[in-house]
């Protein structure tokens, strides 16, 4: 059987992409938000809800989450394209991306977005280094639907986003993806063991 080309392998792996989620974080007076499509349910125990998500080390959010051990993961509605553009196409290092995005402080002091399908407030339980990114395992400590009392609409999937984003965003999206792939290619083999700081004290 002929070996698959790397691009074919990548297209197959894309089937494992998660829904598009917004991740918020806060360190002291600095708040931030980003977009990810690498989040999954990480527990089958209803009483111990957990999620995990891979965050590249070049993202500002990475440092905020690593330093505080807290984040909020939001499932989005399938009409929230503008929010994905606001949080996922530029970094919050230079400006406050949440300035125009309605939100309130959650139980962990991290911003919870008013508009979303569901929000999961998380405390980091463990981490795994991949070289280029960190996989954060989060214990879910509170759940809501943003400012709504019930979920509205349908969940934004990665396939729906890719197929329906405004055409004028596509060149930027693909350039950002290529840059992230290059960053990861340069670092993926440099995996370091990490012991999460709070692991013994829980």
Interacting residues with ligand FMN (CB under 6 A): 20, 32, 34-38, 54-56, 59-61, 84, 88, 90-93, 161
Shortest distance, position 147 Cβ to ligand FMN, whole Å: 23
Element (H, E) at 164: helix 158-164
Nearest to ligand FMN of 34, 108 (CB atom): 34
Nearest to ligand FMN of 93, 104 (CB atom): 93
Shortest distance, position 1 Cβ to ligand FMN, whole Å: 31
Nearest to ligand FMN of 48, 109 (CB atom): 109
DSSP bridge partners of 51: 41, 138
DSSP bridge partners of 142: 121
Shortest distance, position 49 Cβ to ligand FMN, whole Å: 20
Nearest to ligand FMN of 43, 90 (CB atom): 90
Q: Could you identify the residue written with the tokens 């639907």?
A: 145
Shortest distance, position 41 Cβ to ligand FMN, whole Å: 15
Shortest distance, position 56 Cβ to ligand FMN, whole Å: 4
Nearest to ligand FMN of 192, 202 (CB atom): 192
Residue 124 C-alpha from the chain's centroid:
13
Q: Residues 6 or more apart from 21 whose CB is under 8 A from it?
A: 35, 36, 37, 39, 53, 73, 74, 75, 76
Q: Residues 6 or more apart from 3 whose CB is under 8 A from it?
A: none
The total number of residues shown for the chain amounts to: 202
* Residue (of 37, 55, 72, 41) closest to 161 by Cα position: 37
């Amino acid at each position: 059987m002929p070996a698959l080309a790397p691009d074919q392998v990548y297209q197959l792996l894309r089937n494992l992409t998660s829904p598009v989620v917004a991740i918020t974080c806060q360190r002291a007076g600095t708040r931030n938000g980003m977009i990810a499509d690498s989040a999954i349910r990480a527990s089958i125990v209803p009483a111990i809800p957990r999620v995990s998500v891979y965050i590249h080390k070049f993202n500002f959010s990475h440092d905020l989450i690593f330093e505080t051990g807290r984040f909020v993961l939001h499932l989005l509605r399938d009409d929230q394209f503008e929010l994905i553009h606001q949080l996922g196409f530029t970094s919050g290092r230079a400006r406050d991306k949440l300035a125009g995005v309605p939100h309130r402080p959650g139980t962990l002091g991290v911003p919870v977005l008013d508009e979303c399908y569901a929000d999961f407030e998380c405390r980091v339980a463990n981490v795994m280094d991949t070289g280029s990114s960190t996989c954060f395992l989060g214990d879910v400590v509170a759940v809501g639907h943003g400012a709504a009392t019930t979920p509205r609409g349908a969940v934004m999937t990665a396939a729906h986003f890719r197929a329906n984003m405004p055409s004028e965003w596509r060149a930027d999206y693909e350039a950002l993806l290529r840059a992230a792939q290059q960053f990861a290619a340069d670092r993926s083999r440099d995996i370091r063991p990490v012991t999460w700081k709070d692991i013994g004290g829980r």
